Amino acid sequence: MKILVCIKQVPDTVEVKIDPKTGTLIRDGVPSIINHDDKTGIEAALQMREKLGGTVTVVSMGPPQADVALREALAMGCDEAYLVSAREFGGSDTYATSGIIAAALKNIGYDLIITGRQAIDGDTAQVGPQIAEKLHLPQVSYVEEIVDAAEDHVVVKRQFEDGYHIVKVKTPCLLTAIAELAEPRYMSIGGIFDAYKKEIKILGFEDLKDDLELDMIGLKGSPTNVFKSFTKEVKGAGTKMTDLTAEEAVDVIVKKLEEKFII
């Protein structure tokens, strides 16, 4: 089975800050990591390969420095890595991104595609399902367990609002992974050495242009535009009252609730 895993290199959100003047993310000096849900997808793919055989290929769209994320995936045990990168792709929104990645996956070939549910720097959860639509593939989102897998089908447990679904789907298909699907393994020492011996194959504009909607790529071809980005406003500390008896504290609370017409 040929399994493709789509990953994204994202800023480590613990350290992300927003420029108060421009409203954009400050990325300079901020470390990058593999998106959490995508890393879960890598582990699920590796476990399936161990059971069924085949290969696990990892694919990422981004600037040249995204090869760091791809080499981490190789060090975890992936067989091949592709970087989808070109100036023409810069500034793409989710619609444009999914079209570019779909063209890349079509170029590579697949039996099963796994993506993360969503990226922590966007939280849209749109790219995975959009890829499936553009490749005309059946899809199952919010996968929390792979119950059974074979060459021609997979059976998965899909998280749902008030329970779960057990879904059997024929391959080729696309799954989107959530954190509960698998606990990602660490890179091995041998894997790290091997990762830097392997070639990361580049797919650029010229490689994919025949399968692209040329007017729907990059910033100009993206139908979504961000009007403004901003951080959540910090609330004041409020009023702190001390040295009150229990009865006095109750009276103060009740008075405040009455002032706000809560009671």
The CATH number of whichever domain residue 78 belongs to comes to 3.40.50.620
100 in a structural domain: yes
By the 8 A CB rule, do 71 and 81 touch? yes
DSSP strands (E only) in the chain: 2-7, 9-11, 17-18, 25-26, 32-34, 55-61, 80-84, 112-116, 139-149, 153-160, 163-170, 173-177, 200-203
For the chain, report the end-to-end CA distance as a whole number of angstroms.
Answer: 63
Q: And the tokens for 139?
A: 């899809």
Model pLDDT, residue 69: 95
Position 253 in a domain: no
Of 239, 245, 218, the residue nearest 90 (C-alpha): 218
DSSP string, 94-134: HHHHHHHHHHHHHHH--SEEEEES--TTT----HHHHHHHH
d(CA 170, CA 86): 33
pLDDT of the residue at 12: 81
Q: How confident is the model at residue 231 (pLDDT cuts 50, 70, 90)?
A: low
Q: What is the mean pLDDT of the chain?
A: 91
Q: 7 in a domain, yes or no?
A: yes
* 20-44 average pLDDT score: 81
CA–chain centroid gap for 108, Å, is 20
Would you place residue 218 in the very low, low, confident or very high pLDDT band (cuts 50, 70, 90)? very high
> Does 186 reside within a domain?
yes
What is the percentage of the chain residues whose pLDDT exceeds 90?
76
Chain segment 68-79, per-residue pLDDT in tens:
999 999 999 999
In a domain, 106, yes or no: yes
Q: Where are the alpha helices (DSSP H) in 117-245?
A: 127-135, 189-195, 205-208
Closest-CA residue to 145 (of 161, 160, 131, 132): 160
Residue 230 maps to a domain: no
pLDDT at 22: 58
pLDDT digits (tens, 9 = 90+) for 167-214: 999 999 999 999 999 999 999 999 999 999 999 999 999 999 999 999
User: In which domain, by residue range, is 154 found?
Assistant: 2-216
Is residue 181 assigned to a domain?
Answer: yes
Q: Considering the entire predicted model, what is its pTM?
A: 0.83
Q: How many domains in the chain?
A: 1
Question: Which has more confidence, 62 or 11?
Answer: 62
More confident residue, 236 or 143: 143
Is the residue at 252 inside a domain? no
Name the band, by pLDDT with cuts 50, 70 and 90, for residue 120.
confident
User: Smallest Cα–Cα separation from 123: which of 10, 228, 243, 47?
Assistant: 10
Percent of the chain topping pLDDT 70:
92
Window from 59-63, 124-128, 135-139, 232-236 with minimum mean pLDDT: 232-236
